[in-house]
Structure 1
């Protein structure tokens, strides 16, 4: 049982497709959606472990070469149970769920907490943070995140790092967005990147089977376009 099977994507999936699958599950399993639900909390933590590897191109490349996940919860029977649990989750995520979650999450105290937690986890590496941060978009949120983190550093809640300082300097030199919290829309091109659930293979597939996406060329795209998928509902 590979991490790709657990997440429900093909081994050849692009980084965009991997993150799309992750966000669909994360929106359903996030602690804010399941207060007091220990099973959902545990599965959310396991999901974080999967995206920590597959969401990072370097770690993914090492995994592809070695097949080593480094966690007993991601192998054997435990992995099979996790895959089955995630599979049932996919069918319960609707566009309305996604819109409601994003509207309530962005700019909330919960978002700030997640941001600070991930900042500590990735030691100020914001590129990795954006891979795991829900409803995030580097173009819209970099200045906003910088303000939150800088305030936490000034208050002694977080520690700065060279990696973060380098990123923050680049952000400061760029023009901030006018309305970073305004809901984002999908373009027609992005709608074509939606994934359909394939029950036979227990994974997502693109509607256009001939469409090829190079992992190296996907780059950073809006999380909104990654998680919106009108055609995967049961």
Structure 2
């Protein structure tokens, strides 16, 4: 069977974008992230003896190979077909090796280094301005979604947003400018609870004191999966942004 038929059988759809949970307008980075997210679910390391999971993993690799190649993607978008004879779809390719070339393991130190350069950067400022607009000035939602941010960062984040309002870059939304004391107090109580969870996790993991790591662990402890995934996505783009060279074909001996 061809790739489209395999997708239909294994994932219930012959649409390559649908298999990765993407829109046709998805960017290259979004295609990469969609592949990463879906392939993690069926990676051979998780179920080494599950042949169907291995087949699904290999098929996802082929889907990504097509959508990450500009010419193949254009041909698929235009005609709805894939070139089954292309090198990227050869059966002899080591898809596990290909995956590991795309997504080398990110070390804890990489995350800490990223946070160190991210906080106080123009990138963070622009992200916060976007969040302010997306969240209609609601600090609860802003703090929930802000990357690498814990309760101790709130005063700093408020100053950044207020400066943008004063400078005319943001509108003065009432949810932000007239937030009630009750709402602030409730957020502080929640932050105190999360801080306690963070300290417990740090002890369990045997991690030394550190504000940066505390914020990351706190995010995980409070189950903010989307925020942590966003952080990892940024890390992938920073440390795993090189496309792997075509893997050499492995011949059976």
Could you say which TM-score interval applies, normalised by the shorter chain? 0.3 to 0.5
When Rg is computed on C-alpha atoms for both structures, the one with the higher figure is 2
**By percentage of residues, which structure has more helix?**
2
TM-score by length of 2: 0.37
Question: Relative contact order (alpha carbons < 8 A, sep ≥ 6): 1 or 2 greater?
Answer: 1
